[in-house]
Structure 1
Amino acid sequence: MIDKEIRKLFPTLNQEINGHPLVYLDSAATSQKPIQVIEAIDNYYRKINSNVHRGVHTLGTWATDAYEGAREKVKNFINAKYVEEIIFTRGTTSAINLVASSYGRSYLKEGDEIVITYMEHHSNLIPWQQVAKVTGATLKYIPLQPDGTMKIEDIKATITDKTKFVAMTQVSNVLGTVNPIKEVVKIAHSYGAKVLVDGAQSVPHMKVDVQELDCDFLAFSGHKMSGPTGIGVLYGKKGILEQMEPVEFGGEMIDFVDLYDSTWKELPWKFEGGTPIIAGAVGLGAAIDFLQSIGMDEIEKHEHELIKYAMEKVDSIDGITIYGPKKNHSSLITFNMDGIHPHDVATVLDTEGIAVRAGHHCAQPLMKWLKVSATARASFYLYNTKEDVDAWINGLIKTKEYFGYVFS
């Protein structure tokens, strides 16, 4: 397990909520930030604060070096082949929308099929619904097994010669399912289809190597991996990105502008119009440094041990339904308590200083598939401990006792 001293590096965690030490179990929504990231952003605004790629003065050079240095860190973190393959965006949502609006609307047509899953976050569903409406392409869903996993046989049956694009999460934000992305990519590529991977819930928690996966696109967010909000990444294979047109136009993404026509800069800047998210990129670079100082293998190991411990504990409580697979499960547990609305569960837990998520988790089609309107979710990260799990379990027992008393 990761040293408990790690927790002290996260200022938000060192406080009390409603008279109790904070137990933060909502990292799948957003992670807490270590002091190293906070200081990196503070240092940028205090000492550098200048625009990039423009001024020749010293501050401008420092800012550009910091911004492009962060891009190099991202490239190495996911093992991209070229730094030009790293596009900074506002987050996973804007990265997926960029691909849908640029590649999807230009290269998909009537009769083509876009393959997705029932477990997709709305950010990786709605953009493809819109592409289908505009182009005449058809959405096609890979069936799920009762435990929320997919069989390779069903994947092979769903992806056909009509499939031109596959958009799939690597890790479900509800079920905790870890999908067989490498196999999916091989199957899709055998038909000439492109694959986008939603890495919002995977990149922060495990080593992701885009060259090993051979995916065509990968989207993820900084704020779920101890970085700041408002910064994300789109990785795309260089040859594909070079064929794609920008979707935002303005300053800094242009090469030459005439009265009636313009040309674009080379990668990656043709997709980064306007003043970019400089401080966000600096903070993301610091977050990557922080995660690598611990080691992604160590983080994954820590979370696996924590989830195993938490699963054993929560299984011992009667009247709780857990969604998703019991094995090969990521660092979250989604559940419901018999007869108690998940919002009420989350409210009672909050009185104990325990923060969990309740609702449909931006996955309404999946909620329909599960035959529920909402669920509660406890999600863990590198700073969580077995003591956090114990506090959550005690909170669930108190919740059950409270509602049993109220309605008895």
Structure 2
Amino acid sequence: MAERDLGKFLQLLYTYDHVRAIALFDDLLHDEGNFWPVADALLVVCANHQDAKLTVPHGLQTVEAAREMFTAAGPEASVGLLRFIALYSFSLIKRDWTATYLQQQAAAVAGDPEPAFWDAVSSGQPDRAAALLCAIATTEGLAGASHALLRASLADLGRLAHNFTLAVSYAEAARALGMPMALVPLANGAHFLATTLQASKPFRPEAYEQAPSGTDAGMDALQRGLSEGDYESVHDILRRHAASTDRERVFEPLVIGVSKDPGFLGHNMILAHSARLAARYLETEELSHMLWKFYRTLGKAYEYPQDLMIALRSDVDPQAAITGLKSTLQHRTPPPLVTIGRCLEAGIPLDGILKQIVGGYAGWRVGEKEHTIVYLNAAVQTAA
């Protein structure tokens, strides 16, 4: 019965019958084993978001951000957010692209698809760009296709960096789904870029030079160089990290700096988080170029704020601290800086705090839902 209901629910996602779909959702989610199949299905469906009235289709980015929070908080704490995402999916205008259809489009591509992909993007041929990127995925694998997509987006980050951050979301969705379903977000990502990058020049990263052999690439040295304005040393450290296997750690000072000034609707923080995710897909010279650019333009002060230092306190009751955080999430008072600080001082594990934040999201009613989900996820992932 549960398997049949899951099949019905998945079919309803391609309709506008949200009433029947949500009734089935509520029944299905009594079994935690249905959580991830439903989440995957929503990711595929919303990857097809398209609307001629919108310059930037946020559907896939929103669902991918929610999925990252599901991973951080776990299914039990995330059911409310997943339910919202299910309802949200019915508000989107969507293409009918399927993995089978896109496999056929990829098979029809003749010649080497990689050089032709940028030509299709820059000449405004979205359907051809989608087919070519799918061909890259089927012949070279997901890593090659994701790299091609992200490199193309670096040609012009776009207003509020939407070209780049959406490309990262499409690549991350493809990685989460695996082949052949990954073709759906990849094709839609290519289609989007081909509508926004017309007549753009290809991305040309600066030539990569190895950092001097004696470069101290530790985080303390990076923080010191940033605080002292010694950008020659900063550049050396960033180049050293771009060539390393541990690429994510170098983003720590950046996300701390951006947290103090997250930008309009959190777009600076979203960009910093997206850049950290993109690091796994980029080549050394591309990552070095991106790090150097973002460290010079995104953050203003990179030191950890001393007024936010946390010390364990035996006089703070953990249960009272959690109750205060729940009040913040439900009623927006006391301020989150106060209640989250008390939870940390009470020794409540970070993952427990994140579960409360993600679990409390379903009750929020303030702000644009798309941007608050994407912004909140960037903050949650930065904390995690």
Fold shared per TM-score above 0.5 = no
Give the strand-richer structure, 1 or 2: 1
Give the helix-richer structure, 1 or 2: 2
**Smaller-chain TM-score bracket:** under 0.3
TM-score, with length taken from structure 1 = 0.21
Structure with higher RCO (Cα < 8 A, 6+ apart): 1
TM-score, with length taken from structure 2 = 0.22
